């Protein structure tokens, strides 16, 4: 669909490449890379990010089936894991050559049944184990029920087994994480007689940074790190900024003492000020919690704080001490540090700010 909106998210592909290489440099040469491009590539542009990396990765992963279909429609040829499939999706998953993550006995039995009906052979599947996150995955004790189900089952082939760390970014949780890794090692032992032996993988972005020695296995699953976020200021500093959210000033108002700005008259002027109205709002991912002075954008490289409530399609910002005019460019998300500061101010994490950027915001790819 054509997008003519002035508000645009710029995506720097050179920075993507640099960040990808940075994480690769932390790993053995033989370790494979799976890039997670769920939720529109963390709110960016999954298809174009995947196109750019298609020849460099072993796998892509998405959360839901339609995200996988979008990648296939975009011409992506690498294998794609659907992390959260449902029984009702199986036919479509197979039709689009997507690889299901099987996380329960119920799902495993159902997939094998579908594979038999469709006369598939060696259809790639992945098995996820719960080692402590308690979200999705087989329990360790279910291994003894899985093995007979997949034994000599020509319709399917277990391509990989994996688990997910609950607190890879939090070194206070290191003992718990090591317990998770140990549990996964025990589970892996049970699959070593499969032929071919499935790939093993456990690490997300902060896992790569904190547990590459203990849990690198055969592959890692890189997500937010690709966009320049290391989940720790010192790591983020070593990464390049990928995403810049830009817009323009639609209109400037002079607000006199006693006047109010925005819905519910939430802001009341105690002195004269100047505001700029910017075409982005809570429908585009600018949380209402950022209203009333909490959040800020950049105009002429100076901070302009949000005045009053965030509207659905607009914000008003204070430009009293900034020399600017209608039509001037503004930066809504400048870099990782800006996004981290805004997320922190409203008790959330950069993941949520990024994935909230609405689809009506135009995406612009930058590559030198």
| Residue 83 or 357 having the CB closest to ligand PLP | 83
> Would you count residue 276 as binding ligand PLP (CB under 6 A)?
no
Among 43, 223, 228, 279, binds ligand PLP (CB under 6 A): 223
| Residue 38 or 334 having the CB closest to ligand PLP | 38
> Would you count residue 137 as binding ligand PLP (CB under 6 A)?
no
Among 198, 225, 279, 350, binds ligand PLP (CB under 6 A): 225
Question: Minimum distance from CB of 227 to ligand PLP (Å)?
Answer: 9
Rounded CA-CA distance 243/245 in Å is 7
Question: CA–CA distance from 95 to each of 73, 234, 313 (Å)?
Answer: 12, 44, 39
Given a contact cutoff of 8 angstroms between Cβ atoms, the answer to whether 290 and 310 are in contact is yes
In terms of Cα–Cα distance, which of 52, 58, 77, 17 is closest to 162?
A: 58
- Sheet of 329-333: strand order equals 251-255, 273-278, 315-318, 302-307, 296-299, 329-333, 243-248, 8-12, 362-366
Which window, 173-181, 217-225, 240-248, 290-298, contacts ligand PLP (CB under 6 A)? 217-225
* Maximum pairwise Cα distance, the chain: 79
Count of beta carbons in the 10 Å neighbourhood of residue 351: 18
Among 7, 89, 205, 244, binds ligand PLP (CB under 6 A): 205
| Residue 208 or 322 having the CB closest to ligand PLP | 208
> Would you count residue 159 as binding ligand PLP (CB under 6 A)?
no
The pair of structure tokens assigned to 361 is 């915001």
Residues with Cβ within 8 Å of residue 2, at least 6 apart in sequence:
none
Instruction: Report the SS3 class of residue 70.
Output: helix
Positions 59 through 98 that interact with ligand PLP (CB under 6 A): 83
Question: Minimum distance from CB of 133 to ligand PLP (Å)?
Answer: 9
Rounded CA-CA distance 237/233 in Å is 6
Which window, 185-193, 215-223, 271-279, 285-293, contacts ligand PLP (CB under 6 A)? 215-223
For 23-43, give the DSSP string.
Answer: HHHTS-TT-EEEEE-HHHHHH
> Would you count residue 36 as binding ligand PLP (CB under 6 A)?
yes
> Would you count residue 200 as binding ligand PLP (CB under 6 A)?
no
Positions 162 through 181 that interact with ligand PLP (CB under 6 A): 164
| Residue 36 or 143 having the CB closest to ligand PLP | 36
Give residues in contact with ligand PLP (CB under 6 A). Answer: 36, 38, 83, 164, 204-205, 221-225
């Amino acid at each position: 669909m054509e997008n003519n909106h002035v508000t645009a998210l710029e995506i720097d592909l050179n920075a993507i490449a640099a960040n990808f290489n940075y994480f690769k440099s932390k790993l053995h040469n033989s370790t494979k890379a799976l890039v997670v491009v769920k939720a529109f590539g963390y709110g960016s542009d999954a298809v174009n990010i995947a196109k750019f990396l298609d020849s460099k990765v072993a796998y892509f992963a998405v959360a839901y089936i339609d995200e996988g279909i979008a990648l296939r429609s975009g011409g992506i040829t690498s294998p794609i894991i659907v992390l959260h499939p449902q029984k009702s999706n199986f036919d479509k998953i197979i039709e689009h050559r997507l690889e299901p993550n099987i996380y329960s006995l119920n799902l495993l039995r159902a997939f094998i049944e579908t594979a038999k009906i469709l006369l598939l052979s060696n259809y790639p599947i992945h098995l996820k184990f719960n080692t402590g996150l308690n979200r999705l995955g087989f329990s360790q004790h279910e291994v003894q029920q899985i093995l007979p189900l997949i034994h000599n089952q020509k319709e399917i082939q277990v391509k990989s087994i994996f688990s997910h760390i609950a607190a890879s970014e939090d070194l206070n949780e290191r003992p718990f994480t090591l317990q998770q890794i140990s549990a996964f090692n025990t589970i892996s032992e049970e699959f070593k007689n499969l032929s071919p032996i499935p790939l093993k993988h456990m690490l997300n972005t902060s896992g790569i940074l904190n547990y590459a020695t203990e849990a690198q296995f055969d592959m890692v699953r890189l997500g937010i790190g690709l966009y320049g976020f290391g989940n720790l200021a010192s790591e983020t500093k070593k990464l390049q900024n990928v995403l810049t959210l830009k817009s323009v000033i639609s209109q400037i108002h002079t607000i006199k003492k006693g006047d109010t700005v925005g819905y519910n008259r939430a802001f009341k002027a105690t002195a004269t000020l100047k505001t700029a109205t910017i075409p982005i709002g809570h429908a585009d991912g600018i949380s209402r919690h950022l209203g009333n002075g909490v959040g800020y954008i950049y105009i002429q490289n100076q901070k302009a704080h949000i005045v009053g409530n965030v509207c659905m399609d607009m914000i008003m910002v204070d430009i009293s001490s900034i020399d600017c005019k209608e039509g001037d460019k503004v930066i809504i998300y400048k870099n990782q540090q800006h996004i981290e500061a805004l997320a922190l101010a409203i008790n959330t994490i950069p993941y949520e700010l990024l994935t909230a950027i609405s689809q009506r915001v135009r995406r612009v790819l930058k590559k030198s």
